[in-house]
Amino acid sequence: MSQSELLVDRENLVARGNLPRHVAIIMDGNGRWATRRGLPRIAGHHAGRRSVREVVEGCGELGIECLTLFTFSSENWSRPSAEVSALMRFLRQVLLEEVQELADNNVRLETIGRRGDLPRQVRRELEKTMTRLAGNTGLRLVLALSYGGRSELVDCCRDLAREVRDGTLDPEKIDEALVERHLYTAGIPNPDLLIRTSGEMRLSNFLLWQLAYAEIYVTDTLWPDFRKGDLFRAISEYQNRDRRFGRIE
């Protein structure tokens, strides 16, 4: 898609309104993209870096408030140790090399998940990057790292149980709003639109509570081939959906 076509699409999306506040993406297909080309799996992750740039840029151009990327799941730790190590090195490299562009584009960086599971050098770089970008007022870019939806709910239950045990919380006062304040995503609006690449029809333990009423868009495009035009098509379809949240129009 040419730059002029992208500009027209962007202007049309903004003019229609009803843009999602929060877009979440399961970035799937890096390994398959590499395997089909006879390359090591890590090459697919490197190729997917351009896709991340494009969706960050596209969301910023549309004025979307929040973008969450499923970057590394709690289940990914079970992959071969060489691949996990390569992914951690790659994550640190991306943080080092992309921080200036994120700063130039007024992007804030946040994370959700069990960050303590990450290698010390990666945690250190994450903290430096988040601190540098903390004053920005544009897109909130949230990386789900060592993240699992079930783990999140377990951690939430533990926090609530501790408060009940300590006598600071009446169990009868626990409601949905209180649960949400104890999730990793506290203070972040629930996603309006979930995009999954590579054609797979599952949530893969991603934002199980938060996606209750999200619109889901699945594309056969593998993540390294996903571009700004693909993002705009997903959002255009979202704008055509009728979100009733269980009500009748």
Please report, in range form, the residues annotated as the binding site: 28-33, 41, 45, 73-75, 77, 79, 196, 202-204, 215
Q: Is 28 a catalytic residue?
A: yes
- For the chain, state the CA radius of gyration: 19
Beta bridge partners, 141, equal 67, 109
> In which element (H, E) is residue 22 found?
strand 22-26
Catalytic residue from among 9, 28, 192, 230: 28
Q: Which amino acid is at 207?
A: L
Q: Phi first, then psi: give them for residue 159, nearest 5 degrees.
A: -60, -45
Q: Which residues pair with 68 in a beta bridge?
A: 24, 142
| Residue ranges of the binding site for substrate | 29-33, 41, 45, 73-75, 77, 79, 196, 202-204
Of the candidates 9, 12, 18, 76, the residue annotated as catalytic is: 76
Do 66 and 140 form a contact (C-beta atoms < 8 A)? yes
d(CA 98, CA 52): 11
For the chain, how far is it from start to end, CA to CA, in angstroms? Answer: 37
Q: Are 220 and 29 in contact (CB under 8 A)?
A: no
Q: State the catalytic residues.
A: 28, 76
